[in-house]
Amino acid sequence: MSSRRWRACPECDWVSALPVLRANEVACCPRCGRELAHRHSSAGQRVLAYGSGALAMLLLTLPFPFLAFTLAGNRQEIVLADAALAMFNNDWPLLALLIALAIIILPGIFLISVLYLYSSVIAQKRLDNRVFPGAMVLARNLSKMKPWLMTDVFLVGVLVSLAKLVGMAEIDYGWSFVAFCGYVVLLVKTVSLVDADWLWFALKGEPKPPLGIRTGATATEQQAVGCPCCGLINHDTQPTCMRCHTPLARPSPQRLQATWALLLTAVVLYVPANLYPMMETVSVGGTTYSTILGGVLQMIEMESYFVALVIFVASFIVPIAKILVLSYLCWLAAHPQAQATQRRMRWYRYTELVGRWSMIDVFVVAIMVALIQAGVILSIYPGTAAAAFAAVVIITMIAAMVFDPRLLWQSSSEQHSTLNMIETGQKP
């Protein structure tokens, strides 16, 4: 049993003892089915290969032309960074920062961190088991960065923009566009190969779990708590994880209030996001404004039904569905029932998975604004709704992260005891 790794499921708090995993084996929580660890064959070498490939592609993406647009003799050529710069030049600096973070800065930091960490693990034997300086800080932040790497969403945004421009003007692809496609594929592959469980074991070994810990019960019942970063089980008197030093938190109903507050903010911002225009198009015929649904109708008129469906689902259905599902889960978590089900967990996972794809429309606006600047012939400017809608997407993503799914599995008696402890000033 000593070689086993004890884990508390981050989604249902159930304690499991993982067997030694061989290559391509996956360990899942027996109660809710959440993946706890996934071993990849030759993970170290493959992550280094894909990661350095992705970083090289990112560097190649930056200096060369990305797309070019020609209309009535006017040619406008843009590089990738122009998608963010165009927003900055139109007085939306926060949107510019968001786009730059999502497609260039955070993926760049993620790739450099991954290459540094895996190199550290490989060099460890020659360094008497010491790790590179700063490796712990980087490893702690890897999983936090993952949901915000949106290069794949941006690529779909580019394809939607091109579908909107088809027949309107001549579009040329630059070398940077080709490199960007390679960058997206290699980055997605690198992210899928990074195994936090393996990485933390390689960096810091496996400290023993608290004495007397057993499987077949939750960590909370055993006065223990699972680390949200490295997965290690700690005694609940520890403020931070003994392996990775991440702050520890037992399931607390207080997290529900934060989720409700974020959901309410998203609902309020969803109104201007739909009422105000996403884009303003200036042409010889005058200025036209298009809202999210207006853009969908425009695509239906152009008989681009598939693109209309993509925008309708990503920009209209997904944010509403996400707010409704999270509200329902918050209500369920506050009114625990005997039969907490796997189906609810599936809804929770879907909301986490699909939320980031709503950013497609914001990226479409950024690309169109950067690309289509042909003066009075045809120019596009961002509308107020672009900022409001981006805020809705980000806030609902944070709400899904703040929501603690472990509460869905707690019985009402457990929740009341936690609440009583909070009220009487004890550490929950």
Residue 9 interacting with Zn ion (CB under 5 A): yes
- Are 174 and 260 in contact, with CB atoms under 8 Å apart? no
Which of residues 55 and 233 has its CB atom nearest to Zn ion in the complex?
Answer: 233
Separation between Cα atoms, residue 423 and residue 360, nearest integer Å: 44
Binding mask 234-273 for Zn ion (x = CB under 5 A): -------x-xx-x---------------------------
Separation between Cα atoms, residue 353 and residue 400, nearest integer Å: 10
Q: β-pairing, 170-173 with 5-8?
A: unpaired
Which of residues 231 and 295 has its CB atom nearest to Zn ion in the complex?
Answer: 231
Contacting range for Zn ion; rule: CB under 5 A; set: 3-11, 55-63, 76-84, 311-319: 3-11
Binding mask 275-314 for Zn ion (x = CB under 5 A): ----------------------------------------
Length of the chain: 428
Q: Identify the residue among 5, 6, 7, 12 touching Zn ion (CB under 5 A).
A: 12
Contacting range for Zn ion; rule: CB under 5 A; set: 26-34, 89-97, 188-196, 217-225: 26-34
Q: Identify the residue among 8, 15, 27, 29 touching Zn ion (CB under 5 A).
A: 29
Q: How far is the CB of 140 from Zn ion (least distance, A)?
A: 8
Q: Identify the residue among 32, 139, 256, 263 touching Zn ion (CB under 5 A).
A: 32
Amino acid in position 192: S
Which of residues 152 and 206 has its CB atom nearest to Zn ion in the complex?
Answer: 206
Q: How far is the CB of 402 from Zn ion (least distance, A)?
A: 19
Token pair recorded at residue 306 = 């598939």
Place of tokens 């997605």: 188
Residue 408 interacting with Zn ion (CB under 5 A): no
Interactions with Zn ion, residue window 127-166 (CB under 5 A) = none
Which of residues 199 and 230 has its CB atom nearest to Zn ion in the complex?
Answer: 230
Q: What is the size of the binding site for Zn ion (CB under 5 A)?
A: 16
Q: How far is the CB of 30 from Zn ion (least distance, A)?
A: 8
Residue 7 interacting with Zn ion (CB under 5 A): no
Which of residues 31 and 38 has its CB atom nearest to Zn ion in the complex?
Answer: 31
Q: Identify the residue among 31, 204, 322, 406 touching Zn ion (CB under 5 A).
A: 31
Residues making contact with Zn ion (CB under 5 A): 9, 11-12, 14, 29, 31-32, 34, 227, 229-230, 232, 241, 243-244, 246
